[in-house]
């Protein structure tokens, strides 16, 4: 697979900026059961303690915590599907987003000033309410609550589950 040039990536920025600003449909669920593995279920359980069921987030740990344990504020990563499709070059490669497999230009694109402002690399989030998410569910941006750490949380995501668990 050939990596996209800077020009082609920049040409896709208008499509990305046209994304709904406060939410959208859940297009893809990607779990990583083990290093180098991907699982693409049509639905998945989210748990306040364990994150995405079947993902290795909890056992993988984090370099951002003093003891190397998993960071509970980073249980799941939410990414704009338009960004994932653009840098992947095709829909079938979208599950690889997050692995930096799309070349140096794609890394510079998502890490640029505009890329950081638009969160092109995605947003780390924690599970606030346990439940099941399904492809097609609506995810909406929600304001932080008083219980959130104001210096660490700039937005929250709520998913409207089809079985009305919210």
Q: What is the 3-state secondary structure (H, E, C) of 78-135?
A: ECCHHHHHHHHCCHHHHHHCCCCCCCHHHHHHHHCHHHHHCCCCCEEECCCCCEEEEC
What pLDDT score does 159 carry?
53
Q: Chain centroid to CA 50: how far? A: 16
What pLDDT score does 151 carry?
42
What pLDDT score does 146 carry?
58
What pLDDT score does 113 carry?
94
What pLDDT score does 149 carry?
53
Q: Could you give the CA distance from residue 76 to residue 85 in angstroms, rounded to a whole number?
A: 19
What pLDDT score does 54 carry?
95
Listed by start position, the domains of the chain span 6-160
What pLDDT score does 158 carry?
52
| Cβ pair 4, 86 in contact under 8 A | yes
Q: Could you give the CA distance from residue 120 to residue 87 in angstroms, rounded to a whole number?
A: 10
What is the fold of 6-160?
Answer: M1 Pyruvate Kinase; Domain 3 (2.40.33)
What pLDDT score does 2 carry?
80
pLDDT in tens, the chain (166 residues): 788 999 999 999 999 999 988 888 999 999 999 988 999 999 999 999 999 999 999 999 999 899 999 999 899 989 999 999 999 998 999 998 876 789 999 999 999 999 999 999 998 888 888 999 999 998 887 766 655 554 444 344 555 443 333 3
């Amino acid at each position: 697979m050939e990596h996209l040039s800077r020009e082609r990536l920049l040409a896709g920025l208008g499509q990305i900026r046209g994304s709904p600003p406060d939410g959208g449909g859940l297009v893809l669920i990607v779990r990583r059961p083990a290093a180098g593995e991907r699982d693409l279920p049509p639905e998945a359980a989210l748990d306040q303690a364990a994150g995405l069921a079947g993902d290795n987030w909890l056992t993988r740990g984090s370099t951002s915590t003093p003891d190397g344990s998993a960071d509970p504020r980073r249980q799941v990563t939410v990414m704009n599907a338009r960004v994932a499709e653009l840098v992947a070059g095709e829909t079938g490669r979208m599950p690889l987003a997050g692995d930096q497999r799309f070349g140096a230009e794609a890394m510079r694109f998502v890490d640029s000033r505009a890329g950081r402002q638009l969160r092109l690399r995605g947003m780390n989030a924690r599970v606030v309410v346990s439940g099941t998410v399904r492809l097609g569910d609506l995810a909406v941006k929600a304001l932080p609550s008083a219980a959130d750490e104001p210096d660490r949380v700039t937005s929250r995501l709520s998913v409207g589950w089809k079985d009305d668990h919210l």
